Amino acid sequence: MSPAPRLPPAARAIVAGDRRALARAITAVENDDPAARPIVRALYPRTGKIPVIGLTGPLGVGKSSLLSLLIGRLRTAGRSVGAIAVDPSSPFSGGSVLGDRIRLERRADDDGVYFRSMASRGEAGGIAAATREVARLLEAAGFDLVFVETVGSGQVDVAIREVATTSVVVLVPHLGDDVQTLKAGLFEIADIFDVNKSDLPGADRAARDLSELASLGRSADGWTSRIVRTSTTAPMGLDELWEAIEAHERFLDESGGRVAGERRRLAREIADRVREHVGRDVTVRLDRDRELRSLLDRVVARRTDPISAADRLYRQRYRAR
């Protein structure tokens, strides 16, 4: 697809492969800068085709090393890769996490890889929104696939379903071994479970337990979570992991799940955006609109409660026409 002449210059530069234009647009998205809007809007028609692969799991299971090895293999196979690491541990910076990031960022001399870490800034909805838009910028910039890695916080793990076409949950043997400790939500997130550090004892048992549990869940879309075993030190299992990812991507195409998933994610995105509009509007009016100020006064004075106040405000002012 050649750059259309009506694209804004920054969007045209991104499509033409200008990595500095890409970096500037990502920064604008990350900072919630209004300058990002015309760019992401103009590039939107060029998106929604490539695999977006989510990697999530607890801290310390080796997600970053795994990502680094996967990227290496994909590069060898001639595929270009964009990667986003979402770090929810802001506003505190983290040592080891940062170290992994830097290791990946050193690939900067290879034009077929683009790696970017993003700090979350408060709202979980904000992370999902920014990650979605950055994944689209990377797709518009021509990358064949995008990885989204999270460092393992509840909010982000759930948000991965709002962004990824295939979600990989990475665990380690001793965690998988005690699968009862894993919350049920995990089975809804995971298209694939990867038992990493499978050179450690207990990996067989962990994989078997996960298989049993996986066979009980997820059937609405017809996909049963696959279990693979990897090690980044040996290394082993990387091909199997990649094959499982490709199998899920093929399944999405064959089952109609790709369009259904895209529709579900876009519905969520639109609902999030309308919500944000309303949230900002309510906040401004609670400060400036006489009637809303008086409602807030009554809540502060305990003459009414915030649940009733919000219900009333919604019914009287914000219910859909």
The whole-angstrom separation of Cα 290 and Cα 295 is 9
- Please report where in the chains the tokens 């999270």 appear, as a residue: 150
Provide the minimum distance between the beta carbon of 72 and its own copies in the complex, in angstroms, as a whole number: 27
Of 72-80, 140-148, 175-183, 237-245: span binding its own copies (CB under 8 A): 175-183
Task: Indicate if the alpha-carbon torsion angle 244, 250, 256, 262 is positive or negative.
Answer: positive
The whole-angstrom separation of Cα 165 and Cα 262 is 8
Q: Which of residues 282-311 bind its own copies (CB under 8 A)?
A: 282-283, 285-287, 295-296, 299-300, 302, 305-311
| Residue 155 vs 224, nearer CB to its own copies | 155
Q: Is residue 257 within the footprint of its own copies (CB under 8 A)? A: no
| Residue 6 vs 321, nearer CB to its own copies | 321
The whole-angstrom separation of Cα 27 and Cα 15 is 17
Residue 125: CB atoms within 10 A of its CB come to 19
Q: Which of residues 119-138 bind its own copies (CB under 8 A)?
A: 119-125
Of 13-21, 73-81, 184-192, 235-243: span binding its own copies (CB under 8 A): 184-192
Q: Which of residues 191-250 bind its own copies (CB under 8 A)?
A: none
Of 137-145, 195-203, 209-217, 312-320: span binding its own copies (CB under 8 A): 312-320
> Pattern of binders to its own copies over 36-55, x per CB under 8 A?
-x--xx--xx-xx-------
- Nearest residue to 163 via CA among 210, 115, 217, 126: 126
Which residues fall within 8 angstroms of residue 163, CB to CB, at 6 or more apart? 52, 54, 128, 131, 132, 135, 148, 265
Q: Which of residues 4-33 bind its own copies (CB under 8 A)?
A: none
- Please report where in the chains the tokens 């004075």 appear, as a residue: 301
Which residues fall within 8 angstroms of residue 231, CB to CB, at 6 or more apart? 196, 197, 198, 199, 237
Amino acid at 85: A
Out of 8, 58, 112, 235, name the contact with its own copies by CB under 8 A.
Answer: 58
Q: Is residue 314 within the footprint of its own copies (CB under 8 A)? A: yes
Q: Which of residues 68-87 bind its own copies (CB under 8 A)?
A: 87
